[in-house]
Structure 1
Amino acid sequence: MKKYFSQFKPFFVFISTFFVAYILLMLIYKFYLNQFQSTELDGMTQIVGRHVEYLMQLCGSDIKIQKNLGGSFLEVWYKQSFFIRIVEGCNAVSVMILFVSFIVSFSGKLKTTILFLLFGIVFIHVLNVIRIALLTVLLFRFHKYEQILHGVFFPLVIYGTVFILWVVWVNKFSKYAK
């Protein structure tokens, strides 16, 4: 048994570090979310909404994003119609937590790890803002493809990008990179 443990020690260290980081970050995030009443909206979702609105206005779109008065979501008014909602799950924080947990579990030099984490979080945020903006336009034009666009294509893009960031990290910057 000791032979197998020492043989697979890097795997066990990775798994335990990943789950400890993931659970800890999720608990912190849930604690943060629990500070808001059922009709309040968390700050990160509001930031995402403002950035989506800014990006779409920069591209010349007729867009208005505002807090719903009775619920904890943002109303997206596209071409003067209430079209979609941005809820807490749209802010990509859970994706960022997954990303951070993986990078921490395959950590490298401290400075490199911190810089890659910051780059990755900003990159995921920007990608998520672009995702919501594109989703708004595409759903307006191709509403019958909502399941494919919202449920398959865009999750594939964001999780695929996170996977590519992980591969780059492990092969170029982690302590296991050659």
Structure 2
Amino acid sequence: MKKNPVKKYLVQFKPFLIFIGTFFAAYVLLTIIYKSYLNNFESDDVDGITLLVGSNVYWLMDLFNSDIFIQKSISDPWLEVWYNKDYVIRIVEGCNAVSVMILFISFVVAFSGKIKTTLFFILSGTLFIYILNVGRIALLAILLFHYPEKLHLLHGVLFPLIIYGLVFALWVLWVNKFSKYAK
């Protein structure tokens, strides 16, 4: 009697399939939770997480005596960032890095290790991403004030490369040092 080739492949790729299934389940669940949270706000409101990010950007730049002013747009769902009396950038919901945090958490959960270690790494990694994002927005405001023509390079290339590069480094650290697959 011949062995079922599908079963052979399912057994062979079981760790990969478990990883993919866990990753997507965590990603979908966290995305649904986040979208449910966003549904609590009117279409012209700024959500609480984005407001907190704006507040922390203000605090960081004020710490360095920057001429900074951040306000809710009168008619749109974003925060206006004024630097040296010039409107330089806006902070929209997508700027709060929650989507990056969801991606980060989903990966760590998919390669989970000991519960306490996993939770600690998720919390510290998420905090690191949040702080990095606040610094990114503050630095982006300053750089775009001086180099407005570099918007695409700074916002579309350099800063995403830095953020995703550091998240990738956190993943590598997690898999090699703390996950159940670490040697």
Unaligned runs of 5+ in 2: 1-5
Q: Count residues in correspondence.
A: 178
Q: Residue in 1 aligned with 2:113? A: 108
Cα distance between partner residues in 1 of 2:59 and 2:136 = 14
Which residue is 1:87 aligned to?
A: 92
The runs of 4+ residues in structure 1 deviating greater than 6 Å are: none
User: Percentage identity across aligned positions?
Assistant: 63
> Which residue does the alignment assign to 1:126?
131
Number of the residue aligned with 2:178: 173
Deviation of 1:119 (Å): 0.3
Of 10, 13, 34, which residue of structure 1 is paired with 2:18? Answer: 13
* Match in the other structure for 1:4: 9
Shift of 1:69: 2.1
| CA offset digits 1:78-104 (Å, max 9, x no partner) | 101222110000000000000000000
Offset of residue 67 of structure 1: 1.1
1:147 aligns to what? 152
CA contact (8 A) 2:86 2:145 kept: no
Once residues 4 and 48 of structure 1 are traced to their aligned partners in structure 2, the CA distance between those partners, rounded to angstroms, is: 46
- SS of the aligned residue for 1:131 comes to helix
Measure the CA separation in 2 of the matches of 1:46 and 1:72. Answer: 11
Equivalent residue number for residue 48 of structure 1: 53
Q: Secondary structure at the match of 1:77?
A: strand
Q: Structure 1 CA distance, aligned partners of 2:98 and 2:129?
A: 9
The whole-number CA distance in structure 1 between the counterparts of 2:31 and 2:142 is 31
Structure 1 segments unaligned to the other structure (5+ residues): none
RMSD: 0.7
Task: Supply the distance in 1 between the matched residues of 2:7 and 2:178 (Cα, whole angstroms).
Answer: 30
Q: 1 CA distance for matches of 2:8 and 2:88?
A: 59
- C-alpha separation between the residues in 1 aligned to 2:104 and 2:59? 26
Answer yes or no: is 1:71 the counterpart of 2:76.
yes
Give the equivalent residue in structure 1 for 2:3. Answer: none
Calculate the TM-score normalised by the size of structure 1.
Answer: 0.98
- Distance across 2 between alignment mates of 1:83 and 1:123: 25
**1:154 CA displacement:** 0.2
TM-score (norm. length: structure 2): 0.96
Task: Give distance in 1, aligned partners of 2:28 and 2:82.
Answer: 36
